[in-house]
């Protein structure tokens, strides 16, 4: 009983409304950004991973902004 209530409260608590402009390209760009970030955390001192994360982050921002602009 308590377990079921807990699952229901979590489900309601963290849901976000989907945006109409979100696409598969947006999902892929964000996933690549988080993958690059996790690689950066494993190799903190390596500038190669830092630059790769910066590039992925910039690409994700660009993809999201282009998708938002195209939806209008």
Instruction: Residue 34: name the closest of 6, 16, 59, 13 by CA.
Output: 59
- Could you report the per-residue pLDDT of 42-63, keeping only the tens digit for each? 999 899 999 999 999 999 999 9
CA distance 21 to 69: 9
pLDDT at 2 over 90: no
How far apart (Å, rounded) are the C-alpha atoms in residues 63 and 43? 26
Mean of pLDDT values over 22-31: 96
Q: Is the pTM of this model over 0.85?
A: no
3-state SS class at 15: coil
Q: Percentage of residues in the chain with pLDDT exceeding 90?
A: 71
| Angle between helix 47-71 and helix 24-42 axes, rounded to 10 deg | 160
| DSSP type of residue 17 | P
CA atoms within 13 A on the CB side of 54: 5
């Amino acid at each position: 009983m308590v377990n079921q209530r807990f699952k229901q409260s979590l489900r309601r608590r963290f849901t976000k409304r989907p945006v109409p402009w979100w696409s598969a390209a947006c999902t892929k760009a964000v996933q690549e950004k988080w993958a690059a970030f996790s690689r950066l955390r494993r190799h903190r001192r390596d500038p190669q991973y830092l630059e790769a994360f910066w590039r992925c982050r910039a690409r994700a921002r660009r993809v999201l902004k282009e998708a938002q602009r195209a939806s209008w």
